[in-house]
């Protein structure tokens, strides 16, 4: 069991009580905690969570006018490097629980603050001209074994978009290709992208034949064709985790920004966007 899993139940109490702040109106009094009055909360967010974070930030602002958040979007691995180099980040929101565990070990994130708020899935997509009769993307029973890589000869695939190994999506995608015995045949055809959104952009633009993306990004596809949803038992569990950094000042605005990732308002948005919430709206 990882450190994040062990701490999730304890943090649930905070997410049950403290997260109610998101739905409570601010009393209009500016915060006076040291380090929070004169700047917004700096929140590093995985690129695959961009739209959700925009919704979350606006919801915080609507209910708490003095809780301002400055988002920084990118790959979780890149944010981890920035944090290691001293970047002034208050809240770290990652698409990889392993990265969070490593940062806790290195004393860059606060022990006990990390909690998992959602899990994800992978899907396989192709450029528009690659499939003449696209399958039904809404069919959850559809498997990539039937309509994915098994339908192509490795020699027939010129390019497949996947982020580098350091990026969470790149690690998950390579794990799946390895489980299918395909990685060694496709390794010379992999086009490495910067992050999850760049991977989708590459196939949308027709620059690659195939791409492995987060299922939650399917709603943003412009021209790409869905080939199928990949069985989650064939790659590492995709866990989205939020945590407070060690260098973040002790103030209410940061507490609220962190807690919002487990709020009831976000729960419905997670489901709508294709994520799988890790918390219940009615905890026992």
CATH for 3-119+237-277, among 2.60.120.260, 3.50.50.60, 3.40.50.10470, 3.40.190.10?
A: 3.40.190.10
CATH level 3 topology of 122-229:
D-Maltodextrin-Binding Protein; domain 2 (3.40.190)
pLDDT value for 158: 87
Q: Which residues contact 92 (CB under 8 A, 6 or more apart)?
A: 43, 44, 79, 80, 83, 100, 103, 109, 242, 243, 244, 245
Q: Which residues pair with 161 in a beta bridge?
A: 191, 211
**What whole-number distance in Å separates Cα of residue 160 and Cα of residue 77?**
21
Q: Where in the chain is the domain with CATH 3.40.190.10?
A: 3-119+237-277, 122-229
Q: What is the pLDDT of residues 213-240, one digit of tens each?
A: 999 999 999 999 998 899 999 999 999 9
Q: What angle do CA 153, 221, 43 make, to 5 degrees?
A: 115
**Predicted confidence band of residue 94 (pLDDT cuts 50, 70, 90):** very high
The rounded percent of the chain whose pLDDT value lies above 90 is: 64
Task: Provide mean pLDDT across the span 62-71.
Answer: 91
Lowest mean per-residue pLDDT among 2-11, 65-74, 85-94, 163-172: 2-11
């Amino acid at each position: 069991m990882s450190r994040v899993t062990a701490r999730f139940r304890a943090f649930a109490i905070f997410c049950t009580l403290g997260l109610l702040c998101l739905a409570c109106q601010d009393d209009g009094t500016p915060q006076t905690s040291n380090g929070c009055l004169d700047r917004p909360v700096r929140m590093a967010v995985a690129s695959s969570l961009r739209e959700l974070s925009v919704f979350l930030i606006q919801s915080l602002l609507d209910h708490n006018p003095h809780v301002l958040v400055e988002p920084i979007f990118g790959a979780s691995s890149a944010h981890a490097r920035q944090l290691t180099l001293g970047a002034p980040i208050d809240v770290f929101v990652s698409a990889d629980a392993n990265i969070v565990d490593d940062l806790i070990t290195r004393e860059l994130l606060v022990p006990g603050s990390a909690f998992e708020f959602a899990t994800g899935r992978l899907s396989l997509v192709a450029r528009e001209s690659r499939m003449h009769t696209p399958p039904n993307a809404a069919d959850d029973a559809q498997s990539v074994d039937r309509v994915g890589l098994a339908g192509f000869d490795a020699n027939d695939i010129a390019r497949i978009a996947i982020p580098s190994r350091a990026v969470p999506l790149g690690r998950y995608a390579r794990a799946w290709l390895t489980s299918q015995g395909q990685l060694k045949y496709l390794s010379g055809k992999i086009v490495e992208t910067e992050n999850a959104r760049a991977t989708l952009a590459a196939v949308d633009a027709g620059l690659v034949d195939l791409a492995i993306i987060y299922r939650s990004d399917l709603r943003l596809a412009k021209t790409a064709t869905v080939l199928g949803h990949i069985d989650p038992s064939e790659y590492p569990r995709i866990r989205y985790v939020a945590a407070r950094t060690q260098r973040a000042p002790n103030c209410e605005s940061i507490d609220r920004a962190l807690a919002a990732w487990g709020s009831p308002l976000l729960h419905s948005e997670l489901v709508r966007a294709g994520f799988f919430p890790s918390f219940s709206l009615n905890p026992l």
